[in-house]
Structure 1
Amino acid sequence: MSSYQLTIQLATKDAHSINASQQKVTIIKEVAGSSGMKVAWVAFTPFENNVIEWKEEYGVYASTNEAQAGAEIIKTSAVNPATSGVFYPFETGAFDSPEGNAKPNNYGIENKYSQQFTFGIAQSVTANGNKFNANPLNAVPVMSKEKATFTPIEKVTVFLQGQFNNGAVISDITSDALVVDMTSNPSVTIHYDSTQGKFINGALPAAV
């Protein structure tokens, strides 16, 4: 099981100004397949040095919340960790034992209810020592008797915003965002550049 670490650095003045404006560092993780709506994987008030860690382990979830912008996804049932390459049937209030075949590295669900629910993939993450268990990565409306598959990708989008908490469905990112590809590099450092008003790759330059 691979481990990943994203370090986010802020200059002292930027840490002060971001906190004063009640902005949060927000991270979205990329999902392929039935990707659906993006969800704030983790959103936190930053320090000068921030360490985000996670392992390559995923779960699937169901929710009665609609996958619409601004909604907060609350899991009503989940399997964590889940096994890839299979479908988890959802009926009578919970997921049952996996069945059928999905593609390798895909996590599948089947909605056996007679109504639509929201489904997605979830992953635990630790931000500055605070662990968040199986936070949703995406939100997909799945109609009755239909299936969906989710393929996680080790790419994250990092940006600042002040509206949303963990689990919030985000339709548009209104600030400049940085996409960090960690598929071949499990440890990456980025920093906030106040002159550009966004995060950029690399460590914070040493003060002159």
Structure 2
Amino acid sequence: MPNYTLKITFTSDQLKTLLASETKVVLAKTSQGSNPNVVWQAFLPQQNNLISWNDQYGIYASHSPITNGTVLNQLAATPAGIPVGNLYSLQNSSAILGPITGGQSGSFAIANHITSKDFLTFGLYLNAVINQSECTGNAISATAVSMSETLYIKPPDTIHIWLASQVMGNTVLTPISSPVTQIKCSKKQHTIALQYDAVSGKFLNTASIIHHKSSIQHTYTFL
């Protein structure tokens, strides 16, 4: 699976302001132009930040309700790195079985066979490394699934980035009040470099920034 690297930089003055207000960098992932409903990662920034991950997704199940700020604690989960197109099944024992027949091409799928609850929360999770610290098991999506219902999830293709305080990763998203930068994931571009722009509140592609005050032309290569 592709390994992706996201580089995010701040100026020293920007960093001082962010740390003084305990403002975090927030990341979410979605598919097909949908809006995020889960905070994947949230971290206090350094001046130079490095976030990396493999596109190795797993499916989780949770008793946690989909309400603002709720931590998505896992009841059960598949291993990370399951292939798309297969179907999994959550049993009354809280064990996830699979893969079994009945999947859908291009989607992750799980059937809810627990009968003791009217519904449970299901979604994808994805591991990452942020500034050399491992962040494992964090959800990127959350959907309420009723008894005997099957959930189909398309692989995410968009990263959402913004700034917020009092936010944690692996939680249901609270309303966003900051500008959001969206980046499309590409199999041809595994490294993305961004620089925060305080005027717009967004993260700009550093390959397009012209440094007017320097006689040196900075170039960036996207792999």
Q: For this structure pair, what is the TM-score category when the shorter chain's length is used for normalisation?
A: over 0.9
**Where does the alignment leave 5 or more consecutive residues of structure 1 unmatched?**
none
1:160 and 2:169 equivalent? no
Q: CA separation of 1:89/1:72 partners in 2, compared to 1, >3 Å: closer, same or farther?
A: same
Task: Output the amino acid matched with 1:109.
Answer: I
1:175 and 2:178 equivalent? yes
Q: CA separation of 1:207/1:26 partners in 2, compared to 1, >3 Å: closer, same or farther?
A: farther
> Which residue of 2 is the match for residue 89 of structure 1?
89
Contact 2:42–2:168 at 8 Å: present in 1 too?
Answer: yes
1:100 and 2:81 equivalent? no
Q: CA separation of 1:201/1:65 partners in 2, compared to 1, >3 Å: closer, same or farther?
A: same
Greater radius of gyration (CA) = 2
Separation in 2, partners of 1:52, 1:107: 24
> Which residue of 1 is the match for residue 15 of structure 2?
15
Q: Secondary structure at the match of 1:16?
A: helix
Question: Which consecutive segments of 4 or more residues in structure 1 shift more than 3 A?
Answer: 203-208
Give the alignment of 1:1-208 within 5 angstroms. 1-31=1-31, 38-81=37-80, 82-91=82-91, 92-114=93-115, 115=117, 116-183=119-186, 184-202=188-206, 206=211, 208=213
Separation in 2, partners of 1:179, 1:41: 14
Q: CA separation of 1:83/1:197 partners in 2, compared to 1, >3 Å: closer, same or farther?
A: closer
Separation in 2, partners of 1:176, 1:124: 25
Contact 1:80–1:134 at 8 Å: present in 2 too?
Answer: no
State the Cα distance separating 1:103 from its structure 2 match: 2.4
Q: CA separation of 1:200/1:95 partners in 2, compared to 1, >3 Å: closer, same or farther?
A: same
Task: Output the amino acid matched with 1:199.
Answer: F
What's the TM-score once normalised by structure 2's chain length? Answer: 0.86
Q: CA separation of 1:2/1:131 partners in 2, compared to 1, >3 Å: closer, same or farther?
A: same
Task: Output the amino acid matched with 2:45.
Answer: P
Separation in 2, partners of 1:207, 1:127: 31
Contact 2:128–2:134 at 8 Å: present in 1 too?
Answer: yes
State the Cα distance separating 1:207 from its structure 2 match: 8.2
Task: Output the amino acid matched with 1:197.
Answer: G
Stretch of structure 1 that moved more, 166-175 or 18-27: 166-175
Contact 1:125–1:132 at 8 Å: present in 2 too?
Answer: yes
CA RMSD of aligned residues (A): 2.0
Larger strand fraction of residues? 1
State the Cα distance separating 1:101 from its structure 2 match: 2.9
Separation in 1, partners of 2:183, 2:84: 24
Contact 1:72–1:169 at 8 Å: present in 2 too?
Answer: yes
Task: Output the amino acid matched with 2:103.
Answer: A
State the Cα distance separating 1:205 from its structure 2 match: 5.8
**Where does the alignment leave 5 or more consecutive residues of structure 2 unmatched?**
214-223
Task: Output the amino acid matched with 2:102.
Answer: N
> Which residue of 1 is the match for residue 220 of structure 2?
none
Task: Output the amino acid matched with 1:105.
Answer: G
What's the TM-score once normalised by structure 1's chain length? Answer: 0.92
State the Cα distance separating 1:20 from its structure 2 match: 0.6
Q: Secondary structure at the match of 1:172?
A: coil
Stretch of structure 1 that moved more, 194-203 or 166-175: 194-203
Separation in 1, partners of 2:94, 2:184: 37
Separation in 1, partners of 2:96, 2:72: 17
State the Cα distance separating 1:197 from its structure 2 match: 2.4
Contact 2:76–2:96 at 8 Å: present in 1 too?
Answer: yes
